[in-house]
Amino acid sequence: MIQINKSIFYYIFDKQFKELSHIYNEHKYNNKLSEIKINKNKIKNHFSAKKAVFLYQTHSNKIINIKNDYNENILIYGDGMITKNKEILLTIQTADCVPVLLYSENNIIGAAHCGWKGTKNNIIKNIINEMKKSGAKNISAILGPSIHQDSYEVDAEYHKSFLQESDEFHRFFLKSKNANHYLFNLPSFVKHKLKEENINCIGQINHNTYKMIKKYPSYRRSYHLNKRCHQRILSCIIIK
């Protein structure tokens, strides 16, 4: 665990954490239920958490406020969550998208799965608003590893959809060597959305998940290799 202040701790589990197989999705891998249960229990024990929240992530902008009565056996759909309760571990799964961990000076925490779709649809604004509704003051963010611009090629329609929303978004794209394609800077786009909400980014693991094959799973790399991407990076935060 990495300590942020006297009450808040976080950790980001990559493939080099050998005690885990890094598979957490019961709904996708029901032939690996015992393995997934072991992984989740090891994560909880690592933090000595009473409960751990694993969302069914769908690239949405939906935020869940996790209360003390949260039932770990009920599947919840969403891509971000907050809590002000102790000993509840918030977890975000990624394999190229940006994991964002959030905390306030008065010990309210949040975690968000920020792919291009959720970020474009204001998941950052939504989670900040939810934290503030719970009383959060002076919120800061930590960004985990994600795909970088030189590995994230997109087509012209993708590029056009961003410019239709704002000409300002042109700065997050570079022209690719391939005709009618662009390179998108997802982590910079996420940081832009944090800045819009006046959130201070106090840390970032500036690693390219696509290129660091021994350390990180990458959905896009697996797709290019014609393989399934089973594993996930797990970004966690808790109030102790």
Asked whether residue 43 falls in the same domain as residue 114, the answer is yes
224 shares a domain with 176:
no
Question: Angle 186-196/123-133 helices, nearest 10 degrees?
Answer: 40
Looking at the structure, do residues 7 and 59 belong to the same domain, yes or no?
yes
Question: Is the domain of 142 the same as that of 155?
Answer: no
Element containing residue 224 per DSSP (H, E) = helix 219-224
Structure confidence at residue 118 (pLDDT): 98
Examine the domain organization and report whether 160 and 142 are in the same domain. Answer: no
- Same domain? For 6 and 113 the reply is yes
What is the pLDDT, as a whole number, of residue 25?
86
Confidence at residue 30, expressed as pLDDT on a 0 to 100 scale: 73
pLDDT of 27: 75
* pLDDT at res. 86: 97
Residue 119 sits in a domain whose CATH number is 3.60.140.10
What domain count does the chain have? 2
Containing structural domain, residue 177: 149-184
Does residue 12 sit in the same domain as residue 97? Answer: yes
Question: What's the confidence (pLDDT) of residue 223?
Answer: 96
pLDDT of residue 17: 94
Do 174 and 195 reside in the same domain of the chain? no
Tell whether 9 and 99 lie within a shared domain: yes
Which are the contacts of 240, defined by CB distance < 8 A and separation ≥ 6? 7, 8, 9, 48, 86, 87
DSSP 138: S
| Contact by Cβ (8 Å): 174, 165 | no
Is residue 165 domain-shared with residue 225, that is, in the same domain?
no
Same domain, 81 and 99: yes
pLDDT value for 205 = 97
* Under-50 pLDDT residues of the chain: none
Residue 120 pLDDT: 97
